[in-house]
Structure 1
Amino acid sequence: MKTKVALVKGGYTGEAEVSFKSAAFVYAQIDKNKYDVFPITVSLDSWFYEDESGNKHEVDRQDFSIKLDGESIRFDVAFIIIHGVPGEDGRLQGYFDMIGLPYTSCTALTSALTMNKGYTKAIVQDIQEINVAKSVLLFEEHRSKAADLVLEKLSLPIFVKPNAGGSSIGMSKVSDWSELRKALDDAYDAENTGYQVLVEEFVTGREFSQGIYRDSKGVLQVLPATEVRTTREFFDYEAKYTPGLTEEITPADLNEEQKERADRIIKEIYIRLNCKGMVRIDFFIENNTDKFFFIEINTVPGQTAQSFIPQQVRASGRTETAFYGELIEAALTS
């Protein structure tokens, strides 16, 4: 009997558009000889499975089951591919824990922690060889005086972004103080991000993104890094999802010492944050100093054909089909 996989997509934020594209790619790659895959959409309005005829079948949220032709379908595992709320911030993971359904991502606690960029930096900053940019974490209560707090503590240029957002939505680079108020408003008002803002000083260096996962045997596997070079001022939403604006080099041109150091640090981040499944870690290597600067961790990274993780999987000599199978099997055995 095939393993029944719920491929959970959608979400409550602007990242749902990316989630649908990721889910379509994952669905196409999963081995259908081994797995029965049911794409499940989670939205603010409803949770449902849409069959090949376009008929929608509501999910019973008591046990995350669906009914097809009068038969109740229960899933063996959930493959979470929701970027942002509620698939990356721990809400969905907590629900699955309560009903006893295994899933492919980090736990509820780790997901909730890592969704908060400021809190994550506080946890990882004492890892040997890691550096973090100087920053200010702002809450809703700080909004009226946010600009003054930033002016007092940081120097230009700076990045302003939602503390619990993704896909660079609501993110701005500020090179002149006259731009700060609008950047703060954009970050505060980003949909479903909790009215928290992280402001960081700019690090001048090469930007990289690198995946890591624990396979079905429990062994940590670090994927080759990708270097990101964009024609935009920074790697914003348009640069991420508009063809031609960004050059992505996989595997990245790192010397052997840099590669070994990045792999070592990324493994330690994964362990320190108690990660599961696949995650992606973004970092800078600073010009002149060669220091490793942590940017953020993504616990449900994008999975479109051009996304970093599939690129890195292919560069490592694996196929996406084998990779997704490893993630499913690891979730079932963890």
Structure 2
Amino acid sequence: MKKNIAIIMGGYSSEYKISLKSGNVVYHYLNKDKFNGYRIHILKEKWVYVDDSDKEYAVNRHDFTVQLADKKLTFDCVFNAIHGSPGEDGYMQAYFELLEIPQTSCGYYQAALTFNKRDLLSVLKPYGILSAASYYLNLGDPINEEEIVSKVGLPCFVKANRAGSSFGISKVYEKSELKAAINKAYKEDNEILIESFLDGTEVSVGVIKYKGKTKVLPITEIVTENDFFDYEAKYEGKSKEITPARISKTQEENVSKVARQAYDILKMKGYSRSEFIFKGNTPYMLEMNTTPGLTEESILPEQARAAGISLSELFESAISGALNENK
């Protein structure tokens, strides 16, 4: 009997449009012989099931069901395609755990931790996983430019701590540019991470559970036409994403080991995509994404294809893993 799969997409953050694209790709490539896919839009103003004619049906948030004209629709599993809040920061994961509905992404603790760049890097640091020198700010803190520059140097990156798709990020070359960059980041989050600039090759490493086993996917090299891998570079064609990456065997082995180590340390499941920059042969972690982009042009699907895994197989494996874990 075919399983009913709720594909949740949208979300409450600036990433909601990208999430809708990801969710629709999952819906399109889902194996129709095994699964009935349902597009569920999770938006601030509404939670709705959207059918193929774009008719909307309200989702009952008490039990995550949908009342149709002739039946009550329930779900065997949830495929999480929400980037940002509330799908990548632990809220939806905790909600579905309370309802005892299997879902494809990591647990609520792992989601909350990885969504907070500062906390993630702090937790991984004792295990020898390196990251850039950093400085933290919370909304309302005094801004001491001299202290910031002394700690991280110039140029540096000013980032919203809990945001994705490079929203709220700036590369700062002069001390006089810091306040404007900080104000930009505060538009996305009330916590800020300021990091030193690492000059080296940037790579993205996908780690997934595939057919019950942890698998490191072929590595992608990020080559941007812009000053850094910003929103325009990610989504508007201003970058090259080269898979497999043009790195040495030593670099490949080192970054694969660290990406897998981080996945295992955090007791992850589902998909992860971690970003690193090399200094020589040593990878420095920037962040980890637990609901990475799933459009046909996104990095993780590109890596899966390079590993001989089709989108249909990639999505089916995540659903099967969630269902088997719940048994």
Q: Percent identity?
A: 37
1:207 matched to 2:202? The reply is yes
Find 1:285's aligned residue among 272, 278, 281. 278
Count of residue correspondences = 325
Once the two structures are superposed, the pairs formed by residues 25-64 of structure 1 within 5 Å of their partners are 25-64=25-64
1:13 matched to 2:16? The reply is no
Find 1:261's aligned residue among 227, 232, 254. 254
Report the Cα distance in structure 1 between the residues aligned to 2:155 and 2:247, rounded to whole angstroms. Answer: 27
Once the two structures are superposed, the pairs formed by residues 1-334 of structure 1 within 5 Å of their partners are 1-128=1-128, 130-142=129-141, 144-145=142-143, 147=145, 149-190=147-188, 193=189, 195-217=190-212, 219-243=213-237, 245-286=238-279, 289-334=280-325
CA contact (8 A) 1:158 1:202 kept: yes
Q: Deviations over 1:103-146 (max 9, x none)?
A: 01010011001110000010112334x3210001111231x335
Report the Cα distance in structure 2 between the residues aligned to 1:56 and 1:148, rounded to whole angstroms. Answer: 54
CA contact (8 A) 1:162 1:197 kept: yes
**Could you list the runs of 4 or more consecutive aligned residues of structure 1 that deviate by over 6 angstroms after TM superposition?**
none
CA contact (8 A) 1:115 1:164 kept: yes
CA contact (8 A) 1:22 1:81 kept: yes
Report the Cα distance in structure 2 between the residues aligned to 1:21 and 1:230, rounded to whole angstroms. Answer: 22
Q: Which deviates further from its counterpart, 223-232 or 271-280?
A: 271-280
Q: Deviations over 1:270-307 (max 9, x none)?
A: 01112110110100112xx3211101000000011110
Report the Cα distance in structure 2 between the residues aligned to 1:281 and 1:298, rounded to whole angstroms. Answer: 6
Report the Cα distance in structure 2 between the residues aligned to 1:3 and 1:149, rounded to whole angstroms. Answer: 56
Give the TM-score, by structure 2 length.
0.97
Deviation at 1:247, TM superposition (A): 1.0
Q: 2:19 is paired with a residue of what secondary structure?
A: helix
CA contact (8 A) 1:211 1:278 kept: yes
CA contact (8 A) 2:254 2:281 kept: no
Q: 2:60 is paired with a residue of what secondary structure?
A: coil
Report the Cα distance in structure 2 between the residues aligned to 1:17 and 1:201, rounded to whole angstroms. Answer: 30
Please, which runs of 5 or more residues in structure 2 have no aligned partner?
Answer: none
Q: Deviations over 1:166-205 (max 9, x none)?
A: 0000100001111111100000111xx3x00000000000
Q: Which deviates further from its counterpart, 248-257 or 296-305?
A: 248-257
Q: 1:233 is paired with a residue of what secondary structure?
A: coil
Report the Cα distance in structure 2 between the residues aligned to 1:148 and 1:184, rounded to whole angstroms. Answer: 14
CA contact (8 A) 1:216 1:333 kept: no
Report the Cα distance in structure 2 between the residues aligned to 1:93 and 1:236, rounded to whole angstroms. Answer: 28
Q: Which deviates further from its counterpart, 2-11 or 262-271?
A: 262-271
Counterpart amino acid of residue 209 in structure 1: S
Cα gap change, 1:98/1:148 in structure 2, threshold over 3 Å: closer, same or farther? farther
CA contact (8 A) 1:211 1:222 kept: yes
Deviation at 1:147, TM superposition (A): 3.7
Q: Deviations over 1:197-247 (max 9, x none)?
A: 000000000000011111242x1011000000011000001110112x101
Report the Cα distance in structure 2 between the residues aligned to 1:53 and 1:253, rounded to whole angstroms. Answer: 45
Cα gap change, 1:30/1:125 in structure 2, threshold over 3 Å: closer, same or farther? same
Report the Cα distance in structure 2 between the residues aligned to 1:168 and 1:146, rounded to whole angstroms. Answer: 24
Counterpart amino acid of residue 160 in structure 1: V
CA contact (8 A) 1:50 1:57 kept: yes
Give the TM-score, by structure 1 length.
0.95
CA contact (8 A) 2:206 2:219 kept: yes
- Alpha-carbon RMSD: 1.2
Please, which runs of 5 or more residues in structure 1 have no aligned partner?
Answer: none
CA contact (8 A) 1:138 1:146 kept: no
Counterpart amino acid of residue 320 in structure 1: L
